[in-house]
Amino acid sequence: MKKIIIDSFLNLLFPPICFGCDKRLKKDEILCKECQSKLIYYQNDKIYLKDNVYFTDYISVFSYNSIVQNLIHNFKYNGFKKIGKFLGKEMAKKIMQSKFLPQINLIISVPLHRIKMRERGFNQSDILGKSVAQNVHLPYKKNIIVRTRYTETQTKLDIKARQKNVENAFIVKNIGLLKNKNVLIIDDVFTTGSTINEISKVILSAGGKRVYALTSAHA
Ligand SMILES: [Zn+2]
């Protein structure tokens, strides 16, 4: 009862808004009906990397459009964790339908460099990874792989520059945990796949068996 009172008080002070279009919402949801209907589920039919692909398979939940862009922006830069919860659930649903879920032994997420971590206060991929792992009942480990190089934001780089940008940016901290494991990497957005591919490479070189990837959106 107390919680309900506090919640309705908070809703009065900060009425929930749609993270897609900023419209006021009656219920505590993250998207209005109209924005919900604009979400496009991604059909996994294209992988941009051609040579030297180190991951076995990859799936993504949404195609990147303006609604998904607003969702991820509000999650990543404005810290709305309930968006992470929503995306994590959708990602879990997606992987539960995949043929490779039974193969997976361990879930990890794309690490942030410690300086970025300090700036942002949280790692959005870590929140997604935890949420997926909870939903599918698989072990989740952080800090197995560390980002050792502070890389510039990749948004304006083409595929070659992105590959160069993440080259040797990751090291394995705990080799023992990866040996003979099939690992699922979680990230927010798949753009060219350079980051996921680079992490896959270090997982395999540390004795990991196979690597799969799951993201909330495909750009
Ligand atoms: Zn909306």
Determine the distance separating the centroid of ligand 1 and the alpha carbon of 21, expressed in angstroms.
4
Distance 28 CA to ligand 1 centre (A): 13
What pLDDT score does 149 carry? 85
Q: Residue 142 carries which side chain, given as an amino acid letter?
A: K
Does residue 71 share a domain with residue 6?
Answer: no
What phi and psi values does residue 155 have, to the nearest 5 degrees? -50, -35
Q: How far is the CA of 72 from the centre of ligand 1 (A)?
A: 14
Shared domain for 15 and 44, answered yes or no, is no
The answer to whether residues 25 and 58 belong to one domain is no
- Residue 45: what pLDDT? 62
Number of domains in the chain: 2
- Listed residues: CB within 5 A of ion ligand 1: 18, 20-21, 23, 32, 35
The Å distance, Cα 80 to ligand 1 centre, comes to 16
pLDDT at residue 168 tops 90: no
CATH number for the domain spanning 139: value is 3.40.50
* Under 8 Å between Cβ of 179 and 106: no
Using the mean position of ligand 1's atoms as its centre, give its distance from the Cα of residue 100 in Å. Answer: 34
- Statement to judge: residues 23 and 86 lie in one domain: no
* 32 shares a domain with 80: no
Statement to judge: residues 50 and 79 lie in one domain: yes
Answer yes or no: do 66 and 87 share one domain: yes
Residue 4 has pLDDT above 80, yes or no: no
Token pair 């394995």 in the structure block, residue: 172
Q: How far is the CA of 22 from the centre of ligand 1 (A)?
A: 6
User: What is the CA(62)–ligand 1 centre distance, in A?
Assistant: 16
Mean pLDDT, the chain, integer: 90
Same domain? For 149 and 117 the reply is: yes
Q: Is there a contact between 61 and 94 (Cβ–Cβ < 8 Å)?
A: yes
With vertex at residue 134, the alpha carbon angle to CA 150 and CA 215, rounded to the nearest 5 degrees, is 45
Using CB atoms within 10 A of its CB, is residue 82 exposed (0-12), middle (13-18) or buried (19+)? middle
User: How far apart are the CA of 192 and the centre of ligand 1, in A?
Assistant: 28
Determine the distance separating the centroid of ligand 1 and the alpha carbon of 76, expressed in angstroms.
Answer: 18
Residues 106 and 200 in one domain: yes
> What is the Å distance from ligand 1's center to 65 Cα?
13
66: CA distance to ligand 1 center in Å?
11
Q: What is the largest CA-CA distance in the chain?
A: 58
Q: Find the 193 Cα to ligand 1 centroid distance in Å.
A: 29
DSSP helix/strand/coil, 118: helix
- Going from the Cα of 105 to the center of ligand 1, the distance in angstroms, rounded, reads 38
Q: Among 46-50, 52-56, 200-204, whose mean pLDDT is lowest?
A: 46-50
The CA-based angle 198-200-203, given to 5 degrees, is: 115
209 confidence band (pLDDT: 50, 70, 90): very high
125 lies in which domain range? Answer: 39-218
Question: Is pLDDT at 39 greater than 90 in this prediction?
Answer: yes
pLDDT at 11: 63
Residues 66 and 141 in one domain: yes
Provide the pLDDT for residue 104. Answer: 98
Q: Which amino acid is at 147?
A: R
Q: pLDDT by residue (tens digit) across 6-26?
A: 666 666 667 789 999 999 998
In the prediction, which pLDDT does 94 show? 96
Q: What is the pTM of this model?
A: 0.90
Specify the pLDDT at position 46.
60
**Same domain for 64 and 10?**
no
DSSP-derived 3-state class of residue 182: strand
Do 185 and 195 fall into the same domain? Answer: yes
Please tell me whether residue 186 adopts helix, strand or coil conformation: strand
Residues 77-115 have pLDDT tens digits of 999 999 999 999 999 999 999 989 999 999 999 999 999
Enumerate the H helices of 47-146 as residue ranges: 66-76, 81-97, 114-120, 124-136
